[in-house]
Structure 1
Amino acid sequence: MISSDNAQTFAWQFNENDQEFSLQGSLRPQRVDDLTGCMTALENAVSTVKGRFYLNVRRLVRMNNVAFQAIAQKLADTCTNRPDLNIQITTSSVVGWSTRKFAALQATNENISVSEYDSEFYPGQTFLEEGGFIPILRTQTKLTWHHEREILRRHGMQPGLQMADICCGIGDFAVLVQKEFEPGRLVALDHSKSSLDYARKVADEFGVRGIEYVFGDASEMLLESNQFDFVTCRHSLQVFNHPEHILQELFRICKPGGRVYITNEKNSHCLGEPRSETIQWTYNEVAKLWAHFDMDIEFGPKSRRYLQDAGFDDIKMESFMVTNLDGNPQDFADIIQSWENVYAGQMAVERGDNPEFIARFRQGFQDHIFAAKHPKGYAGWPIWVASARKPK
């Protein structure tokens, strides 16, 4: 059940099955009495649960001290009256103040704990940000854009559309789209502050204007529903442990009749010649490595099923192969080297792989580079593209 206070721009919901009480919106009462309905609902919810009670504030955009003090006191009283109950507060890093504010309760009450939802939902975030990916992402986009500029047209992209690029990363794709298609509006959203800082810098250096960069959680976007004609999300569903949550949000912000466009990989289908056998072995192991960290680098061909399950229709799907023949073979080699650095470096070590395995693992990447740079060689990296319409 969802309830709200007409005098306030916030709402609350209690899920009995999950024992979770959620707050969302802007919680800024003038006095405690303004919260009577919400606080009564919170008290009633606590009285019905056992073991662990969840307070979810990850969609609470604003909260003043009146509200925080009232909720903090209610939780403190609960800890005193119900010592058998553990209280788990779930915040979001994209709403910067929430973790800091509620952490104070954790420090003074041993039965209260605070966790950031994003850190659990984005299992690969540290690898992507800290593992050396940012320097190579522009090279990847340069090689994929060679194919995608025409694929986008086939999937419905045209000038003047209201567009959102979700999980925009360092923003290079958004810049290329802005220059090529001149959308009427372009919002670029990402969960990484460092990536967005880089994106703004690149756009400024290239003199590109009109891109609205937004810091946000792709699974809980603070964007209004039904506002974009074309929504893109590239190489991202494969990084999340619950891609269906992202698709639900892409569906929500897309206008009825609009389209969502996604790209993802199936890394075990990477190929090269000569030395194909060692290359194939390594990329099969890449898939297993990602699965260990609750990510799915094999997601590409699954796109159609996921789009159908999310409620889309008119699904279009195709694939393309980025190769060493798309430009300078060294660019392709640089991408593979960056993969080796992260996969056979930080990720394999964190999984606990032994030195012998890592050495063999690395060899496959080096053989892929050898194939890319060989004068008679061929090396490929396959990508699946899918788009679908939100029914009218």
Structure 2
Amino acid sequence: MNSQEFTLSGSVRPQSIDELAPSLSLLKEAIDRVRGVLYLNVRRLAQMNNVAFHAFSRIIVDACRMRPDLKFVVVTSSVVGWTTRKFSRLSKIEPNITVEEYDSAFYPGQSFLEEGGFIPILRTQTKMTWRHERSILERHGMRPGISMADICCGIGDFAMLVQKEFEPARIVALDHSRSSLAYARKVAEEFDVRGIEYTYGDASEMLLDDDQFDLVTCRHSLQIFNRPDLILKELLRICKPGGRVYITNEKNSHCLGEPRAESIQWTYNEVAKLFEHFEMDVELGPKSRRYLAEAGFEDIRVEQFMVTNLDGDPNDFADVISAWEDVYAGDMAAKRGDSPEFVKRFRQGFRDHIYAALHPKGYAGWPIWAASGRKPS
């Protein structure tokens, strides 16, 4: 067994088949070497005309017919939807050709957090964290007139706050959730917010050019991907040399409250374990420096701030915790198969956190790490 991968990316639009001779020769060599599966990776294939499609298809189909032992897997992405539709034709011709849309399962737990019912709480969370981040951002590369990308932008509220407060020359806001982007565009239109380019895309394989943004932000997102290193690699790629990448992440086991601290502490320790079950790491915050260093950044800056019930209306804090309870002790716990006894105790910790937030002498906190690194010149 000797599987191989052959990758096509960018724009492949030849006027004649002769222009493809070097690429077709490489594909034939890969087929000759493979014993098992040949993966044809077209995740970043932005354009392909019929001349190119038929030339590559002919070689693949002929190889299947000459070597029944050989299997082809065409790896596409939902971000470039036409590739899945176009290459699926081959699987109808030859049973040894299959098409896999790799990002359909890339974010194993994100569906719990990205759909419409969670939108109101995402807005409240941003409102609470913005009080802190507004001053922090200037120490991490934010300034008027820059070109900025907000990756994993969610419902787009952070990008709108930045646009209003700092007036960058350009903001590209990208996310993998169509429903979140639809909401972001709707709100931007209603409030006549201009200058933000909302775009659908996969943060681990973006169709954005290299070296084009002065500042790239990615907030509360690395912690819900099972391969944060892939995301950071892409953030580094699209950042200009000398520009900065800014990330925020949490450490949920450090959420705290008084009174009823013990119950609260137990529940948030269990939150970390729950997310780990779904291949997410809500303990990532303090690891930010290591992740940035390993990705190749320099001049790494790390700050930690605590969002509390004293940041404005304590009912906002309580609303956030209530939403966490609904999702974490609801859909996620059910999906993991937790017992009714566990769920009852799990829910109690959230409710005690709300109690601490609303108590006239109480204190409740949610810790966040903000970090950034400079792309080497």
Shorter-chain TM-score range: over 0.9
CA contact (8 A) 1:131 1:346 kept: no
Q: More displaced, 58-67 or 280-289?
A: 58-67
Q: Which one of the candidate residues 288, 291, 304 is aligned to 1:319?
A: 304
Give 5+ residue unaligned stretches, structure 1. Answer: 1-15
- SS of corresponding position for 2:141: coil
- SS of corresponding position for 1:75: helix
Alignment of 1:127-146 (within 5 A): 127-130=112-115, 132-146=117-131
Q: Does 1:81 align with 2:66?
A: yes
Deviation at 1:17, TM superposition (A): 8.2
Q: Does 1:225 align with 2:207?
A: no
- SS of corresponding position for 2:79: coil
Task: Give the TM-score normalised by structure 2.
Answer: 0.95
CA contact (8 A) 2:143 2:166 kept: yes
Match of 2:80 in 1: 95
- SS of corresponding position for 2:159: helix
Q: Does 1:266 align with 2:251?
A: yes
CA contact (8 A) 2:250 2:369 kept: yes
Match of 1:150 in 2: 135
Match of 1:382 in 2: 367
CA contact (8 A) 1:282 1:361 kept: yes
CA contact (8 A) 1:311 1:390 kept: yes
Aligned positions, number: 377
CA contact (8 A) 2:149 2:217 kept: yes
Alignment of 1:166-185 (within 5 A): 166-185=151-170
Q: Which one of the candidate residues 159, 173, 195 is aligned to 2:144?
A: 159
Match of 1:294 in 2: 279
Measured in 2, the distance between the counterparts of 1:131 and 1:193 equals: 10
Question: For each residue in 1:87-129, what CA deviation from the matched residue of structure 2 results, as whole angstroms up to 9, or x when unmatched?
Answer: 2211011111111222233344332222222123222231122
Match of 2:53 in 1: 68
Aligned-residue CA RMSD (Å): 1.7
Measured in 2, the distance between the counterparts of 1:18 and 1:227 equals: 35
Measured in 2, the distance between the counterparts of 1:261 and 1:27 equals: 34
Alignment of 1:1-392 (within 5 A): 19-130=4-115, 132-392=117-377
AA in 2 matched with 1:322: V
Measured in 2, the distance between the counterparts of 1:49 and 1:260 equals: 39
- SS of corresponding position for 1:95: helix
Deviation at 1:131, TM superposition (A): 7.5
Deviation at 1:304, TM superposition (A): 0.3
Match of 1:3 in 2: none
Measured in 2, the distance between the counterparts of 1:138 and 1:211 equals: 18
- SS of corresponding position for 1:94: helix
Q: 1:202 to 1:18 in 2, by over 3 A?
A: farther
Measured in 1, the distance between the counterparts of 2:206 and 2:159 equals: 18
AA in 2 matched with 1:175: M
CA contact (8 A) 1:127 1:342 kept: yes
Q: More displaced, 178-187 or 129-138?
A: 129-138
Task: Give the TM-score normalised by structure 1.
Answer: 0.92
Measured in 2, the distance between the counterparts of 1:282 and 1:234 equals: 24
Measured in 1, the distance between the counterparts of 2:337 and 2:311 equals: 36
Q: More displaced, 106-115 or 251-260?
A: 106-115
AA in 1 matched with 2:252: N
AA in 2 matched with 1:164: A
AA in 1 matched with 2:54: Q
Q: More displaced, 312-321 or 30-39?
A: 30-39
Q: 1:389 to 1:354 in 2, by over 3 A?
A: same
AA in 2 matched with 1:344: A
Measured in 1, the distance between the counterparts of 2:232 and 2:114 equals: 23
